[in-house]
Amino acid sequence: MGHIESSLARLGRLDEMAARDTPASRLDPRAKVAATLAFVVVVASFGRLDLGRLAPLAVFPLVLAPLGDVPWRPVLARLALASPFALGIAAFEPFLDRAPVATLGAVTLSRGELAAMVILAKFALSLCAALLLVATTGFDAVCLALAKLGAPRVVVAQLSLTYRYLFVLGEEAGRMVRAHGLRAPDAPRPTLRRAGSLLGHLLLRATTRAERIHTAMRARGFDGRLPMRRRWSFGRLDALFVGAVLLLLFAARAFDLPGLVDAALSGALR
Amino acid sequence: MSHHLVVVSDLRFAYADGTSALRGIDFTLHHGESVGLVGANGAGKSTLLLHLAGALMPAHGTVRIGDWPVTPKTLPQVRRSLGMVFQDPDDQLFMPTVEDDVAFGPENLGFPPEEIESRVVASLERVGALHLRRRTPHRLSGGEKRAVAIAGVLAMSPDVLVMDEPSSNLDPRARRRLIEQLKAFEHTKIIATHDLDLVLDVCARTIVLAEGRVAADGPTAQLLADDALLSASGLERPLRLQGCPRCAARSAAPS
């Protein structure tokens, strides 16, 4: 069935964008990984009703995307794909807390509704940042940067091998479903029962393949650590980038920027 | 170093489910020899290769590679002198880019960066794949994957090259290119394959396996023309040694 293969092709698209030469892709991967990690931590650190204070943080993805020449469509499509998780969590908030916080014309906003919006905003900001990181850096470079920044080598090896064999596994699943469909012309989509047996087979194939891969790795001297050959140099531009991001994060965290702008504007108007 | 490079003596092995895969294998390989390992499905070819690479340990008997008997302790030495190219290149190409993958072995052997770089370039050039160096392995064609997998092993400069079905899934031209490359390699080679025409081209000597034993060991030209031996081992003459069907039809036709 074609759609497994085409979803796989789409999966790799963001990653492939990183191979292009853009101002963002030229930055040291470590700088981008560190900046993104800090960004996600700061996004997560805001309280459950701090919607306004999250707003200035949107500057990070809004600046990084054009710097990396990343189109928004694929990013937003992936955001939508992952959104059920966030929606599932946010959906309950409006029912849990009905105390009103603000009135905009005829609409009264409850605390729960505001909290739900904060959850969605946090989700959108962090995931956008992560997706842009991959689209400007490439998954392998992200793994490597994580290792160089001190993440455990085993975790990094797992991450990078999982990504590599995701495609092989997906293609294998696609072939199995196609083979099933060809011999079950009236019900080309596997029933739940058959899907169980297909999945079981896939698991068995995956484990035997894992064994073969491990043998192949050992045969070339693998000792549990993936070598990291690429050398990067952390230059002035990289330092500037990290500095700018940290400054933005600090300002957003320490001051109520929208409140200050609001005060300044109303002061000017008076 | 002794001039016997690979010595296998009375090698026996049974899988955990009791299937006996090898029932006493003996042979000796000398430097620079090129040997075809042929036999029907289930004759024990792959099991034998896994023993050579030290991925399986002999239940009985010994395997020596160069100066080292294959034991868990000598694996690092064995892996320096024996390079194995696996049947499915996807099992072997696990690094993110082609050049990283070729560098994987030399990296593990602890070479300095300049040496690694020159090995990567030299081995990719050797298999005509230098232009692929920045590509992602899973996007390559079957022939390109095979070439890169071979480069990854060449980069470790092994004394012995062991290959499992190197010509499977290749188109005719890629297969021909592979044969030319194999002929040019000065390494000692063991090639397990069903492609008997490839054996005829590349290997002066052939070992025929049948039911976990060595059914015959001798000059390729002689063994691959021995119909009784071939049919007893579940094989056929290489296509090139079979009579031409067109000529046969012509001579059978009444003149």
Alpha-carbon distance of A46 to A28, in angstroms, equals 28
Each residue's pLDDT, cut to its tens digit, for chain B (255 residues) gives 456 789 999 999 998 888 889 999 999 999 999 999 999 998 999 999 999 988 889 889 999 998 889 998 888 888 888 999 998 898 888 888 899 999 999 988 889 999 999 999 999 999 999 999 999 888 899 999 999 999 999 999 999 999 999 999 899 999 999 999 999 998 999 999 999 999 999 999 999 999 999 999 999 999 999 999 999 999 999 998 888 888 888 877 765
> Can you give the pLDDT at residue A2?
56
Chain A interface residues (partner B, CB cutoff 8 A): 139-140, 143, 160-161, 164-165, 167-168, 209, 212-213, 215-223, 226-227, 229, 231
ipTM: 0.78
- Residue B17, both tokens: 């489910």
- Assess if residue B170 is contained within a domain: yes
What is the average pLDDT score of chain A? 87
Question: One-letter amino acid identity for A140?
Answer: D
Contact between A72 and A65 (Cβ < 8 Å): yes
Flag if B108 and A161 touch (Cβ within 8 Å).
no
> Can you give the pLDDT at residue A125?
94
Alpha-carbon distance of B250 to A183, in angstroms, equals 43
Q: Which residues 157-186 of chain B have a CB within 8 Å of chain A?
A: none
Instruction: Provide the number of structural domains found in chain B.
Output: 1
- B45 at interface of A, judged by CB pairs closer than 8 A: no
* Residue of B56, B79, B94 best to disrupt the A interface, most CBs of A under 10 A: B94
User: Hey, where are the domains in chain A?
Assistant: 1-151+230-256, 152-225
Flag if B79 and A220 touch (Cβ within 8 Å).
yes
* Residue of B100, B116, B118, B132 best to disrupt the A interface, most CBs of A under 10 A: B100
At residue A1 the predicted structure's pLDDT band, cuts being 50, 70 and 90, is: very low
Cβ-Cβ contacts under 8 Å for A209 (sequence gap 6 or more) = A165, A168, B91
Alpha-carbon distance of A54 to A119, in angstroms, equals 11
- Assess if residue B77 is contained within a domain: yes
List, in sequence order, every residue forming a beta bridge with B27; answer none if it has no partner. Answer: B8
Flag if B138 and A221 touch (Cβ within 8 Å).
no
For the beta sheet containing B68-69, the strands, ordered from the edge strand earlier in sequence to the opposite edge, are: B20-30, B4-14, B60-65, B68-69
Q: Is the pLDDT of residue A157 over 50?
A: yes
Flag if B107 and A164 touch (Cβ within 8 Å).
no
Look up the CATH number of the domain holding residue B46: 3.40.50.300
CA dist A183 to A21, A175, A189, A199, B202, Å?
Answer: 47, 13, 11, 17, 41
- Count of CB contacts below 8 A, A vs B? 74
For the beta sheet containing B213-219, the strands, ordered from the edge strand earlier in sequence to the opposite edge, are: B82-85, B160-164, B188-192, B34-39, B205-210, B213-219
CA proximity to A249, closest of A36, A50, A42: A42
- Assess if residue B135 is contained within a domain: no
Q: Spell out which residues of chain A touch residue B100, defining contact as CB-CB under 8 Å.
A: 140, 229
What range defines the domain where residue B9 resides? 4-86+159-242
Radius of gyration of chain B (CA): 19
- Assess if residue B151 is contained within a domain: no
- Assess if residue B122 is contained within a domain: no
